[in-house]
Structure 1
Amino acid sequence: MKKSNLKILASIIIFFIIGLIFYFTVIDKVGTFSTTNYYLDTVNQISVINTRKSKANKVLPASDKIVLDIHNKMSSQLASSEVSKINQNAGIQPIKVSDDTYTVIKKAISYSQKTGGKFDISVGAISSIWNIGNESARVPSSEEIKSLLPLVNYKDISLNDKEKSVYLKKKGMKIDLGGIAKGYCADKLADYLKENGVKNAIINLGGNIYVFGQNAKKTDFNVGVQDPAKTNTEPLGTIQLTDKSIVTSGVYERFIEKDGKVYHHMINPTTGYPFENNLSSVTIISKKSIDGDALSTSTFGLGLEEGMKFIEGLDDVNAIFITNDKKVYTSKGIKDKFSLENSSYSLAN
């Protein structure tokens, strides 16, 4: 080969290498990229960390679609959703649903059984008339609540595993997956991101948080626990986590006030009124977010003593209970990992 041709070939190779370097350092840079949407009645943010821009441009739009798909299937606010179709056909006929919706409903019923009905998705018949979190929220009359209580019973939800169908046995029954759907969605997002090569991410679905890998500083994530009193923007405390879900249910999330009394959104399936048990919030740390979502609501309903006993009996699940008198109780597995950072609260155990 002539020297001139060799020079041309060498120039092409050098140009190609420079182009690759330019692409990976400038155009396809490594960094943190996020997407934000409003589905499942909350603001959601999904962030991928130390990830190439080209990969983020692929996985983040797909992540939005996953959340939208679950919203379209499970939102009780959408007349076209699978949940709404189940409710519209209560006492009439079973409704075939997707694997997603069937899995969530079946998991919800298992938690109803484990907690003696403290967690019950059939509370929708009553939670829908309170409608807390929406403009039409109101305090129903005691007579109205009493008339609807017979429609709240998870044992009246009939599942057919072969058909993947759901049937509500009584007319007027309604299910509401608001206490578990976001957890399922967070798990599905985490699985999708991992399967597509994302090593580090934060999934925040309106307070349902799932983290895996490491943060931008290449350490475990320092996750804040919300101050139930919301006296400032600083967290009540923090805990370092990775490959974990952290979910909080609290009286501060959604509520209405009437005649000086505050009514939060977590309805007791037995009474039809919000739970009253001296708790202001419960935070659950678990491997699966669907478990954390269901457990944060159900243990709130169980109360401090019974709820903590329930958590201590589970593997790889921990909890932080905060009472109205600003005392913080942690399960045994995180006693040395939780850092209290608000001096108006005190560790009680």
Structure 2
Amino acid sequence: MLSKKIKYISLFIMIILSVNILYGCNTSNNKNTPISKTNFYLDTVITIKLYDNVDDTIFNKVFDRIEEIENKMTINKNTSEVIDINSNSGENFVKVSRDTFNVIEKSLYYSELSKGYFDITVGPIVKLWNIGSDDARVPTKDEIKATLPKVDYKKILINKDTKEVMLKDKGMVIDLGGIAKGYVADEVKNLLVDNGVEHGIINLGGNVYTLGTKVDGSKWKIGIQNPLETRGAYIGTVSVSNKSIVTSGIYERFFEKDGKRYHHILSPFTGYPVNNNLSGVSIISDKSIDGDALSTSIFSIGLKEGKKIIENLDGVDAIFITKDKKISITSGLKDNFELVNNSFEFISD
């Protein structure tokens, strides 16, 4: 775990260097100088940067709230509400908190929207691969074949009145890793607003939420990750306020075996890493929970059909980046996205 934290801290240093350049700091007087805190939760480095005259005890509230949600939804500790659901699969309903129920309910919405490309019951497949850990490996075909029947979001049973959840079949596993960070970002934003914060950046290991505007009233300029390079390299920028930016791609978590790279975005249908021409998808949305779920599912669906889905969603835009360095953007970004890397080019589709 210590080596993993060191890896994320190194990534975070690169993020901060880029963030300082892109976000800019309005230092015409002391009150505009930001205060920030960093911590490690949700298996990633989190930084909160605020540009208001607020007591720095606000960070205690923020990180306490993040820890509270993590303790309810993690599958990487000894106990949690999600672990209780998984332990009772095929047997009993489990009563959960509003937080956990809301995230599971939202997950089911995106499973329907994406026709199953987003599926939080992919947990058994995730465990087979263990990508992102020291135990990453390529499962056998027989292992994947035997595990795939345990993946089916339609077998998640919920009772909205009692906030109870059950997995229909024994051995099913919920993993909220593809949506929980988005929910956390939204909850942190709400907490900050309730405590009088008007200007800030919430960065959950690359899930970015821009709160309000910069102090001078201008929008935040956010870099869009180059998915063909390590974190901190950008292909372009967007100018936003009160927006979430979430990117899914092949650059974050992967391992190589016999000269082949295996990334962490796994197909609920095949049990293998998604194989298409995309290297990354960035989602710009009003709520981070939407961006989190959509970035994963739209990446899996692919450019053509994924773009159709995004164009039909209010308040959501996307940037698609292909493995051969082509870029496609949705209509809402036509006058906003600025390309800064000349090795990439736009395509019409």
TM above 0.5, yes or no, is: yes
Task: Give 4+ residue runs of structure 1 displaced > 3 Å after superposition.
Answer: 231-234
| Structure possessing the higher radius of gyration over alpha carbons | 1
> Which residue does 2:298 correspond to in 1?
299
| Paired residues of 2:318 and 2:330 also in contact (CA < 8 A) | yes
* Equivalent residues in 2 for 1:37-56, closer than 5 Å: 37-49=39-51, 51-52=52-53, 55-56=54-55
CA distance in 2, matches of 1:341, 1:172: 48
**In 2: Cα distance, 1:235 partner to 1:348 partner:** 18
Seen in structure 2, the aligned counterparts of structure 1 residues 140 and 56 have a Cα distance that, compared at 3 Å, is farther
1:180-219 alignment runs, 5 A limit: 180-219=179-218
* Deviations 1:36-59 (CA, angstroms, capped at 9, x unpaired): 11111111111111x22xx24121
Q: 1:231 to 1:255 in 2, by over 3 A?
A: closer
Tell me the residue number matched to 1:346: 345
| 1:105 and 2:91 matched | no
* CA distance in 1: counterparts of 2:260 and 2:318, whole angstroms: 28
- Cα deviation for residue 30 of structure 1 reads 5.3
Contact 1:48 1:56 in 2 (8 A): no
* Counterpart in the other structure of 2:135: 136
> Whole-Å Cα distance in 2 between the matches of residues 92 and 86 of structure 1?
10
Structure 1 residues 5-84: aligned runs within 5 Å: 31-49=33-51, 51-52=52-53, 55-84=54-83
Instruction: Verify the 8 A CA contact 2:231 2:252 in the aligned structure 1.
Output: no
Cα distance in 2, alignment partners of residues 155 and 233 from structure 1:
38
The letter of the residue matching 1:43 is V
Counterparts of 1:329-340 in structure 2, within 5 Å, are 329-340=328-339
Unaligned runs of 5+ in 1: 1-27
Specify every segment of 5 or more residues in structure 2 that has no aligned partner in the other structure, as ranges.
Answer: 1-29
Is the contact made by 1:35 and 1:64 (CA closer than 8 Å) also made in structure 2? no
Q: In the TM superposition, what is the alpha-carbon distance from 1:254 to its structure 2 partner?
A: 0.5
**By how many angstroms is 1:334 displaced?**
0.3
How high is the TM-score relative to the length of structure 2?
Answer: 0.89
CA distance in 1, matches of 2:55, 2:251: 34
Classify the secondary structure of the residue corresponding to 2:327.
strand
Shift of 1:294: 0.4
Query: Aligned partners of 2:215, 2:139: CA distance in 1, in Å?
Result: 48
1:220 paired residue number: 219
Whole-Å separation in 2 of the counterparts to 1:268 and 1:123: 8
The verdict on how the C-alpha distance between 1:111 and 1:211 changes in structure 2, with shifts beyond 3 A counting, is same
Q: 1:57 aligns to what SS in structure 2?
A: coil
Give the C-alpha shift of residue 217 in structure 1: 4.9
The 5 Å alignment of 1:148-167 reads 148-167=147-166
| One-letter identity of the residue aligned with 1:239 | V
